[in-house]
Amino acid sequence: MIILFVKAVKEIQQYPKRNLLPKMMCVIIFFVDQNHKKKILSEILDIKKLENVNKPIQAANGLPNACYTSDEYLAYERDRVFFNKWTVVGVGSSIPNPGDAKPYNLLGIPLILIRGKDMQIRVFHNVCSHRGFKLLDKTCNLKNVIRCPYHSWSYDFEGNLVATPHIGGLNKHHSEKFDKNKSNLKEIKTKVWMDIIFININSNEIEFDEYIKPLEQRWSKFINKNDQELIVHSNDYGYFNLDVNCNWKFAIENYCESYHLPTIHPELNKVSNINDHYHIQGLPNRFAGQGSKKYEQPAKGNKKFNTFPDWEKNMLKNSEYIALFPNVMIGLHVDHFYVFWLEPLSISKTKEHMQMYYIGNNSANGDELKDLRKKNARFWKDVMTEDVDAIEGMQEGRNSPVYNGGNFSPVMDQPTHQFHKWVANSLI
């Protein structure tokens, strides 16, 4: 920042007649603004500890304790991470029909997820433009409008204000002094990919197609755009959730590595141990995780799920488990796909949502494979439940004043270190 400041001063001295004041002001404002943000963060945690995260893995420590224990930090993280990035708030299959709507609270910010008559999913701030009343408080199917319970101002599914009862007095529903177009619902930038609903509240992240491109390129040997359209949500054994007493980041950190398999997942480790896994570190730094070379399709007799048609035949036993930052974990297999997304509730509480998908409706919902879906869902619920004690234990440990953020295994913790760096760089 200082270099930029000095450069601008030199330009003014060199060209005294040139109007460089606007440029100078921009530099000064940028300089002050950056310092202001850093000062605020420095009041919450030790900046040197945060910067230490970016060191090479053998010398780095993990994120400081405050990133997991401080309510003040969570408010900062909400604005810098969840508002600035593409954040997951649900799945499209939870609102399958026109008019289906559900409220969602993103760390205190009330939102509405709704499917329009055009089948498009949109996300709005859940607040009436009139007097700030919360519009929706439960999942429902709306017929034609989103109606405010306070004064009955009503909005269509595209967020347009369409009705203002008695705004000009009794039975006068219009007013020449009032422009409806200035009071539409505030829409949030939204994208649905593989049924996952992503939002970017501050609209300052890169376009979603660019954001997801590195992952799609990585997975091109498994699935393509057409294959993405084949996934179908399971209605009977397609969803479960877990309430965990820990910060949301612990779930991501745990998911990124296979180091814990022998101790936390002994049965899984028997069929796919840590030597059968490989690290995934997506560049640019948007995702990380692990893959396995020992996946075996679940079967009951000769019955199996349908498979992705374009999956490379020499990689049928490969499966990949990727954390797409900040808050969604994805499992890709030749015969099924799952979305494990996180709803942060507080600094130390998180709701985990698991959504199961298969290839084609027969595999997803057909009676013939119902028992197999039940078996597969139970397997994944058992695996995710086994992780709960681990991530809750880390939360408790973070209350120790002598813990320095932790050290990393240079061999086993590389994806987890990548996530820590992503968080740190998102904050600074």
169: pLDDT strictly greater than 90: no
Tell me what pLDDT residue 99 has: 98
Note the pLDDT tens digit of each residue in 408-427: 999 999 999 999 999 999 99
Tell me what pLDDT residue 166 has: 83
Classify residue 146 by burial, with Cβ atoms within 10 Å: 0-12, 13-18, 19+: buried
Query: For residues 245 and 391, is the Cβ–Cβ distance under 8 A?
Result: no
34: pLDDT strictly greater than 90: no
Measured CA to CA, the distance from residue 428 to residue 225 in angstroms comes to 36
What is 222-399's CATH topology?
Naphthalene 1,2-dioxygenase Alpha Subunit; Chain A, domain 1 (3.90.380)
Tell me what pLDDT residue 86 has: 97
Tell me what pLDDT residue 170 has: 86
Note the pLDDT tens digit of each residue in 286-344: 999 999 999 999 998 899 999 999 999 999 999 999 999 999 999 999 999 999 999 99
pLDDT band at 39; cut points 50, 70, 90: low
- The residue ranges of every structural domain in the chain are 1-43, 87-191, 222-399
Query: For residues 136 and 100, is the Cβ–Cβ distance under 8 A?
Result: no
Tell me what pLDDT residue 38 has: 53
Measured CA to CA, the distance from residue 175 to residue 164 in angstroms comes to 9
Range 362-381 average pLDDT: 96
Range 16-38 average pLDDT: 45
96: pLDDT strictly greater than 80: yes
Tell me what pLDDT residue 261 has: 87
Phi-psi bin for 140: left (phi > 0), alpha (psi -120 to 50), beta? beta
Note the pLDDT tens digit of each residue in 275-285: 889 999 987 78
Look at 27-31, 280-284, 387-391 and tell me which has the smallest mean pLDDT: 27-31
Tell me what pLDDT residue 27 has: 39
For the chain, percent of residues with pLDDT exceeding 90: 79
Range 126-141 average pLDDT: 96
For the chain, percent of residues with pLDDT exceeding 70: 91
Query: For residues 358 and 376, is the Cβ–Cβ distance under 8 A?
Result: no
Class of domain 87-191: mainly beta
Residue 384's contacts (CB-CB under 8 Å, 6 or more residues apart) are: 242, 340, 352, 354
